[in-house]
Amino acid sequence: MMLAAMSDMIPSARHGGTFETSPERKNGEVSKRLRLPQLPAIPAIARTGTPHAINYLTLGVGPHLPCTTGRGGARNHAGRVSHALTMAQIANLRAAARHAARIGLPFTRMLTIHWEAAGMPLAGMAKATGRFIDLLTRWLARNGHRTAWLWVHENGPHKGGHCHMLAHVPAGCVKDLTGKSKRWLRTITGNPYRARVILSKPIGGRLGLEAGNPELHAINLAAALAYLCKGATLEAASQSGLERLEPGGRVIGKRCGTSQNISAKARKAKD
């Protein structure tokens, strides 16, 4: 499978150059460039003043859930507070990504939901993410598709509470996903949709990359996952070989999660 040999680091050395984001695409695709260009600042979200929680130019490439895949991991607790990802959490996310590819559900899409910009308080972010995943999973199931996913919550004074998510979304469903996502957010928050509250991009910058160029898709996916893990502790970042590190911020409830079909229990059963 495409991620079976995927290293924990971005495997740029195999290609004789440094992989970085293609500025022309701005969506997570890698290209071979020897020098890192000066990058523009990310503008604020309209009407909120909240900066984008994800900068696709600097990626290095381009709970409540009664569904078939399930949420995986420990349950949410309202009093649980954390400020960074641990080594164990990073290892679990990486293993889950590899397993998703092994079972034929490689992550094809990266989504970022700016919950604070959508009007969701920090204490409600975990439940909101769970509800969004529930709606996504049920919608795909009604269209005859399975999915796998993982997510990470972050927070900060300049970007607020938000969720980064990697998910398997079949190419044929992408066209309808934008409209569906906006309606789901209105349902979850009870507020009108605000521009750029949700960002959704294909891994590697184009649909079907996982089938058309599996190796390039794997490289882009490794970099996207590294981006999700950037809010790690210093110790975890060092042990994991992460090259990018940013404060993960205060999060209430689970900090990260996976679908049950790629959880540690599912991986153990498969092995």
Q: How many CB atoms lie within 10 A of CB 46?
A: 12
Task: Report yes or no: 234 and 106 within 8 Å, Cβ to Cβ.
Answer: no
Task: Report yes or no: 54 and 70 within 8 Å, Cβ to Cβ.
Answer: no
For residue 259, tell me if it sits in a domain: yes
Please report where in the chains the tokens 């150059």 appear, as a residue: 17
For residue 216, tell me if it sits in a domain: yes
For residue 48, tell me if it sits in a domain: no
- Residue 85 CA, chain-centre distance (Å), reads 14
pLDDT computed for residue 11 by the predictor: 36
Can you give the pTM of this predicted structure?
Answer: 0.75
pLDDT computed for residue 77 by the predictor: 56
Name the residue range of residue 144's domain.
69-266
Query: pLDDT: is 40 or 239 the higher one?
Result: 239
Query: pLDDT: is 220 or 40 the higher one?
Result: 220
Helix/strand/coil for 91: helix
For residue 176, tell me if it sits in a domain: yes
Identify the CA nearest to 200 among candidates 245, 163, 152: 163
Residue 165: pLDDT over 70: yes
Query: pLDDT: is 28 or 149 the higher one?
Result: 149
Q: Tell me the mean pLDDT in the region 53-74.
A: 35
pLDDT computed for residue 54 by the predictor: 41
Residue 166: pLDDT over 60: yes
For residue 37, tell me if it sits in a domain: no
Confidence of residue 119 (pLDDT cuts 50, 70, 90): very high
Residue 21: phi and psi, rounded to 5, are -65, 140
Task: Report yes or no: 240 and 222 within 8 Å, Cβ to Cβ.
Answer: no
Q: CA-CA distance, 267 to 12, in Å (whole number)? A: 28
Contacts of 215 (CB under 8 A, 6+ apart): 2
For residue 36, tell me if it sits in a domain: no
String of DSSP letters for 148-166 = -EEEEEE--TTT-SEEEEE
Helix/strand/coil for 19: strand
Q: Tell me the mean pLDDT in the region 41-58.
A: 36
Q: CA-CA distance, 166 to 113, in Å (whole number)? A: 12
- Take residue 235 and report the two structure tokens written for it: 């110790």
For residue 42, tell me if it sits in a domain: no
**175-217: pLDDT as tens digits:** 999 999 999 999 999 999 999 999 999 999 989 999 899 999 9
Query: Would you say how long the chain is, in residues?
Result: 271
Helix/strand/coil for 113: strand
- Take residue 155 and report the two structure tokens written for it: 């927070």
**225-261: pLDDT as tens digits:** 999 999 999 999 999 999 999 999 999 999 999 999 9
For residue 149, tell me if it sits in a domain: yes
Query: Strands of 162-167's sheet, edge to edge?
Result: 198-202, 109-113, 162-167, 149-154, 256-258
Count of domains in the chain? 1
pLDDT computed for residue 7 by the predictor: 39
